[in-house]
Chains A and B, each alone.
Chain A
Amino acid sequence: MRIFGPRALPLAGLGLTYWLSSITALGQPAPDTGAEAEPATGTAAAPAQHPAPPPAAQAPPVRQPPAVLEVTVEGERAPPEAKSFSREEVRQLPGAFGDPFRAIEVLPGVTPIASGVPFFYVRGAPPGNVGYYLDGIRVPYLFHIGLGPSIVHPGIVRQVDLYPGGYPARFGRYAGGIVAGETTEPRNDLHGEGNLRVFDVGAMVETGFDEGRGTALVGARYSYTAAILSLIAGDVTLDYRDYQARVSYDVTPRDRISVFSFGAYDLLGETRNGVLDILFGSEFYRVDTRYDHFFGHSSRLRYAVTLGWDQTRVAQQRNAISTMVASRVEIVHPVDETITVRTGADVTLDSFGSTELEFDDPDDPEVKKRNALFPKRRDLALGGYLEATMRVAPEVEVTPGVRMDLYTSVGAARVGVDPRIAARFFVTDKFRIVHAYGITHQPPSFVVPIPGLKPGTLKGGLQRAFQTSAGVEADLPEDFTATATAFHNAFFNMTDTLSTSSGEFDIFADQRALGSAIGLELMVRRHLTKRLGGLVSYTLSRSMRSVGREEFPSAFDRTHVGNAVVTYNLGKKWRAGTRAVVYSGVPKTSPTSGLIVNPRPKHPERSPAFYRVDVRLEKRWKVGKSGWMAGVLEVLNTTLNKETFASSAGSSEEIGPVTIPSLGLEGGF
């Protein structure tokens, strides 16, 4: 079977191209790993092997369906700071509901805001400073209604990478982490998969045309919660849906043209007096048109133009609307067996409409702040990067890089110069030392990413982060891998409203802060598709903020965050898994109201710790030659635990229990 490694496309990831030798795989389509399946690939999730084989000639894009049992998989070594999940692993992860993007919260360095809420701090960086990409396309958010399933069908997501810091120069304009999803390679055999759950239904199908030169994929998800809710609570509307469509065509054996479009729509509202009052309404659409040229010898050029349209209901039926026109060029060129150069440039023009409301009290401070934060404007971001991965010695791989970005907005212009360097030292064939350092810049960010809403306060300067980390990777017996990473991030001029509000939380505040985060990340992992798979991750960290003379912990600083996952093949195509999540409490909030409050303490009392247990049970059946079906029962927070957020004044607020049960059928061919 031919399996595309997670790094099959040089442009999709950064690192030396290499060969994973003779991976044995079952004669099943990739999604149908089966309960007995061993990991299909080494995947980027696994630390790279030593020594890296020389880069091989990059084959033209491969379209053949999986056919053989044992193949050689072509790919690239993961960048030193990448933490990844393949689709096959995500499928087995309890509490992720099969969504690749939801799975990253189990990784070390990720601190949840609250249980079940897929917005998180990454090494101290707030949710607004975490960039989301799909195939290199910036997307405003990843989850329906902010909490629900991801906005792309899991079947088209091959892999999700989390770059908690010190990431490749290809990524920029975010002063926190990067979450990058990559879609599956185009396939010209007819295949597809779908799922039917209590609250939504989704499907994707792909096939080839013109004797395999072209491929076409469509996918969609539709939630019928609106129909269900109309029976239970007729005045409440909850609706979400998304689509994905991709067409690719090989004009010549070395030239491919592709169009990839996706979008999502969310609506949560309540009807009062016959009028729908929208509590949350948002939608976005993207069309990415690409031209890929394969030079041979792994060299490749991609040129792409992206159009985007975002809209979010602000209030009073007023929508914040933005349009995006972006263009990017990416080039990967292996100079020789020891050096691979990657370079690229891109320009993005975002046009933001006015968010001013027709019917508002002009004296309302919130109105004034909101209008000042989101003025009607055009933002330009223009940048380029250059990076090289060099094998300077058989045991040393170094990746220096730099990117430069120019930003303009509301008459202000700022430049960010972001040098990066990462290195991997192969101490033995099973033990490596990894270092990553980098500076990143980002324009002001909102509390969480929301379509059409981006602060226009560039005149206050760019946010800046200095990210450092050092760690070790070890390949242990029985296919276990272990990593330990120490990190220290420093943030300057950051717009972390979640953490810096004094007294009442004010999402429209434009207060800048200094910040720092220091911590230790540990992870021991065995591929979740093994007969007995598992993962233990732990993060010990301290995230501080400083405003004026005040120095205090970030509002969502959690000293300890731990995850433990066990999956086991019960036999006869039954597979079970469980996951425990435990984390310590956040600092207690200061007294609220309009009082002049005392300076926040450096070591405040904390809310109670929280834990929950998720479970997943799956039964699979083989259908026909290559088809499969599965029944899946999954529950997030089976223990029905509530999370408590307390204030130093003695009051506390319990949230939950946020328990999400899911019963569904999945199938594919």
Chain B
Amino acid sequence: MHCTRSLSALALALATGGCLPTDTRPPPGTLNVVARTEEATLAGVVTDDGWALSFEQLLVSVGHASAEGDDCTAYNDPDYARVLDGLRSGAQKINTLFVVGLCELDIELSSPKEDSPLGAGTTAADRDFLRTPGSDTYVPEGGVSYHLVGTATKGGVTKRFAWPYRNRIDYSTCAALENGVPSAGIRIREHETKSATVTLHGTAPFQTSRDAKSARLRFDAFAAADANTDGEVTLDELGDVLLSDLDDGTDYSDADAGWVTLEDYVYHGRFPKVVRYENDGVCELEIFPNDRAPR
């Protein structure tokens, strides 16, 4: 639309709402991005090697959902992560997207910001904990994306674990599986409301394979890693266990070439599986230390 560049421009602007183009987009639908926690994490589970796993805390910071795709029109782009109590049952809101078209979902697991919203059951202290810089073998100084705390008990022996994950993960072009095949995305029509579910899996670190469907749960190797027998299995202790020395019934054949220790395997191979899209959905993953700005 062109405006007349004359004395009448002001009157014209007042009368017509100015010269900027008007909105010609169709009304969007609503895509509620929510989190659900697997039953095994909520209720506990017994591993194949007889350890009773139970979880005390799964504190997760996840969000920054966005809808992408050539046929997708996004009306908003929530730029925030929500701190969630991963031990609550039912759906918990992460973000709300207003979109129309065929969209693929991007989501981010990252340390929260100062003003990140708190999900039910979480506190500002939880958020501060996730924002507090710390280090581990792989991240020299970074915040925490999730914190997994629990115990495993067998035959009167109890081992505790409390593991912060300090990487940020961009899960992009996520697609749910339909008959074992990744879907093309989520089609949202005008005024329609749908949900996309991010699932939380506290049991992921103890799976015997990166293939979640065929994986079983085992804990013997973790219990054995408690070298100082204080009952606390730390990441550093996992770092002292060579994969080549393990004989716990897991072949670790899907480990990447550079993974030498059990810590490598768990941190790089298992921890990213704690947060998934639609249980067994597929996403492209990019992993960075949490000391970088979220996109």
Is B98 touching A359 in the complex (CB atoms < 8 A)?
yes
Is B9 touching A593 in the complex (CB atoms < 8 A)?
no
Is B20 touching A595 in the complex (CB atoms < 8 A)?
no
Q: Which residues of A contact B75 (CB under 8 A)?
A: 316, 359
Is A311 touching B20 in the complex (CB atoms < 8 A)?
yes
CB neighbors of B among A222-279 (8 A): 241-243, 245, 259, 261, 263, 265, 267, 269, 272-273, 275-276, 278
Closest to A266 in B: B20
Is A363 touching B128 in the complex (CB atoms < 8 A)?
no
Instruction: Find B115's partner among A261, A307, A319, A365 (CB 8 Å cutoff).
Output: A365
Closest to B65 in A: A361
Closest to B289 in A: A593
CB neighbors of B among A305-332 (8 A): 307-309, 311, 313, 315-317, 319, 321, 323
Q: Which residues of A contact B114 (CB under 8 A)?
A: 594
A465 vs B256: C-alpha distance in the bound complex, in angstroms?
61
A363 vs B22: C-alpha distance in the bound complex, in angstroms?
27
Is A243 touching B9 in the complex (CB atoms < 8 A)?
yes
- Interface bits B100-139 vs A (CB < 8 Å: 1, else 0): 0100000000111111110000000000101111000000
Q: Which residues of A contact B115 (CB under 8 A)?
A: 365, 369
Give A279 Cβ to nearest chain B Cβ, in Å: 12
> Which among A282, A315, A369, A594 has the greatest number of chain B C-beta atoms within 10 A?
A594
> Which among B20, B21, B101 has the greatest number of chain A C-beta atoms within 10 A?
B20
Q: Which residues of B contact A359 (CB under 8 A)?
A: 28, 75-76, 98
- Interface bits B214-227 vs A (CB < 8 Å: 1, else 0): 00000000000000
Q: Which residues of A contact B17 (CB under 8 A)?
A: 311, 319, 321
Instruction: Find B293's partner among A241, A282, A593 (CB 8 Å cutoff).
Output: A593
CB neighbors of B among A268-312 (8 A): 269, 272-273, 275-276, 278, 281-283, 285-287, 307-309, 311
Q: How many chain A residues touch B (Cβ–Cβ < 8 Å)?
A: 52
Is A366 touching B143 in the complex (CB atoms < 8 A)?
no
Kindly count the residue-residue contacts between A and B in the assembled complex, taking CB atoms under 8 Å apart.
149
A220 vs B7: C-alpha distance in the bound complex, in angstroms?
12
Which of B37-45, B78-86, B233-241 touches A? B78-86
Is B111 touching A593 in the complex (CB atoms < 8 A)?
yes
Q: Given A241-B5, A593-B143, A593-B294, check contact A361 B18 (CB 8 Å).
A: no
Q: Which residues of B contact A649 (CB under 8 A)?
A: 291
Q: Given A265-B3, A286-B10, check contact A366 B79 (CB 8 Å).
A: yes
Is A595 touching B80 in the complex (CB atoms < 8 A)?
no
List of 7 A-B pairs having minimum Cβ-Cβ separation, nearest first: A243-B5, A317-B23, A359-B98, A592-B293, A594-B113, A365-B115, A359-B75
- Beyond A359-B75, A504-B113, 10 additional contacts (C-beta under 8 Å) are A259-B7, A263-B10, A267-B21, A283-B13, A315-B76, A359-B76, A363-B82, A593-B111, A595-B290, A596-B132
Please name 13 pairs of A and B residues whose Cβ atoms are closer than 8 Å in the assembled complex, sorted by A: A265-B19, A285-B9, A285-B13, A316-B75, A319-B20, A321-B18, A360-B76, A364-B79, A592-B293, A594-B116, A595-B142, A596-B132, A596-B133
